[in-house]
Amino acid sequence: MAQNENLAELSKAGVSVWLDDLSRDRIRSGNLAELVATRSIVGVTTNPTIFQGALSQGHTYDEQVKELAAQGADADAAIRTITTDDVRAACDVLAEVFEASGGVDGRISIEVDPRLAFDTDKTVAQAVELWKIVDRPNLFIKIPATEEGLPAITRVITEGISVNVTLIFSVERYRSVMGAYLDGVRKARIAGHDIAHIHSV
């Protein structure tokens, strides 16, 4: 299938085109792979609102929800399992893009629970947990650039985990985010991580 000319031109100009949507139907139907092939898509970002929409439409998740309920999973645990399963599968769809770009593109982003945006320690703990559950090198953990999020960004990068920073609304906050990122990279190198594998957007 032919590429969309406009998106292909953007891609040639150095723009990484990301999709702001993800669902199991999109993955299973081959639509995500088709968008990679025909729309220059090289990344996907997700958030709780996106997954809420996916879960509320159709019956794709019904069987897994029943299984998780039978196992005694509460709502948060069920949502975590469902979303990490989808993100892992999406990471696999974009694995070839990830490899071909040397790890620059082919990334999938999953967000730490927004209710933790003002709690540094819990943000770090969930970021590490999500990284381990998804277990794919082309994962980004999305962390908000709140005051409490800034040290979380540093600590998560120090663990060798790639981060997507969201909610940056000023140049001043962007500078603070860059400082948090650079501090994390320095500490990751001291900790013995290969910093060539740590990326951020």
pLDDT digits (tens, 9 = 90+) for 86-130: 999 999 999 999 999 999 999 999 999 999 999 999 999 999 999
Q: Are 166 and 18 in contact (CB under 8 A)?
A: no
Distance, CA of 12 to CA of 97 (rounded, Å):
15
Total number of domains constituting the chain: 2
pLDDT confidence tier of residue 151, bands split at 50, 70 and 90: very high
Whether residues 32 and 88 share a domain: the answer is yes
Does an H or E element contain 62, and which? helix 62-70
Whether residues 86 and 103 share a domain: the answer is yes
Distance, CA of 125 to CA of 102 (rounded, Å):
28
Whether residues 24 and 106 share a domain: the answer is yes
Distance, CA of 197 to CA of 41 (rounded, Å):
21
> Which pTM does this prediction carry?
0.92
pLDDT value, residue 168: 97
Q: Write out the catalytic residue numbers.
A: 142
Task: Inform me whether the pLDDT recorded for 2 exceeds 80.
Answer: no
Range(s) of the domain holding residue 12: 1-111
pLDDT value, residue 1: 63
Whether residues 86 and 18 share a domain: the answer is yes
When pLDDT is averaged across residues 139-164 and rounded to a whole number, the result is: 98
* DSSP one-letter code for 104: S
pLDDT digits (tens, 9 = 90+) for 11-68: 999 999 999 999 999 999 999 999 999 999 999 999 888 888 888 887 889 999 899 9
Does an H or E element contain 19, and which? strand 17-19
Whether residues 178 and 98 share a domain: the answer is no
pLDDT value, residue 131: 98
Distance, CA of 180 to CA of 154 (rounded, Å):
5
> Which of 111, 139, 154 marks a domain boundary?
111
Beta strands of the chain (E only): which ranges?
Answer: 17-19, 41-45, 107-111, 139-144, 163-166
Residue 44 phi, psi dihedral angles, 5° rounding: -140, 135
Whether residues 120 and 87 share a domain: the answer is no
Distance, CA of 44 to CA of 55 (rounded, Å):
18
Whether residues 74 and 151 share a domain: the answer is no
